[in-house]
Amino acid sequence: MTQTAFFQAQQNDLSILDDDFASKSSLSNWQTHHQTENWPGFTNKVEIKELESIFYIEPAISGWYGEFHRSHFYFKLVTGNFSVITKLKVTGINTLSPTKGFSLAGLMLRSPRPGNIPKDRKGYENWMFLSTGSATKNGKPQFESKNTIKGKSNLKVFPAKQGWIFLSISRIDNKFYQCYSYDGGQQWKLLRVIDRADMPNELQVGMLSYSGFWSLLKWYFNSHKFNTKESNNKSDLIARFDFVKFKRIENTNINEKYKAGFFNQEMSVDLLKELKLE
């Protein structure tokens, strides 16, 4: 199988993209934002722990907001309607939750940046993510849902729980459903629905982590420095991903019509089936 066939899943069976992190070699099947677009990679430690079947990452001081993007984003290219699901646990280095504000990890969907556009030109960052860790309250478990259009980010933060969490983002045409589960994927909650008619058919889909965004505010008015300068501050996040799975969504016929907005509510059986979360 060619690398292109692996990265670009055009067929209905997306299981070819799954990763249970049982082998260190599987990391080579992921592309990274910093390598693809030639940015520095601000990460203290990245490895697959084969005995635990865990993808382990400790980001350095980093962050994603608007035109600012300095951390590892591991992704695969996915087309059409799909669900991506992961199981992860986020902690501080020595604590149950990160002690640095805006230290989170989770799932991200991003429009590939046009290759003919200089990487510093503003207005071309289009992405969304659902993450968990600590955002506005240091040391408190939270979710962060962030939506970025043409380099402008809007976010909302919700209470979460410590420990292992399931996260999912499902695409059905122009609508994106962000969901989470605490009980091993037996019962899901719909957190948010985002309407993005601008998203292309093919998206970068994968794992994001960052830590200590506030430490970079001295470069807030210079995105190039924000994205490239070393920081002497210490980050505080460990992300452990147990797996990432991809499922094709076909022949959708959602009975409930969800407009864009925040819900944070239990999901019906019909919606679970539609989003491939049953």
Q: What is the pLDDT of residues 119-165, one digit of tens each?
A: 899 999 999 999 999 999 999 999 999 999 999 999 999 999 999 99
Q: What is the pLDDT of residues 8-47, one digit of tens each?
A: 545 679 999 999 999 999 999 999 999 999 999 999 999 9
Report residue 255's pLDDT band, with 50, 70 and 90 as the boundaries.
low
What domains can be seen in the chain, in order of their start residue?
A: 3-274 (2.60.120.200)
Predicted structure pTM score = 0.94
From CA 202, how far away is CA 200, in angstroms rounded?
5
Per the prediction, the chain carries an average pLDDT of 93
User: What is the mean pLDDT of the segment spanning 219-242?
Assistant: 94
At 55, the pLDDT band (50, 70, 90 cuts) reads: very high
pLDDT of 1 > 50? The answer is no
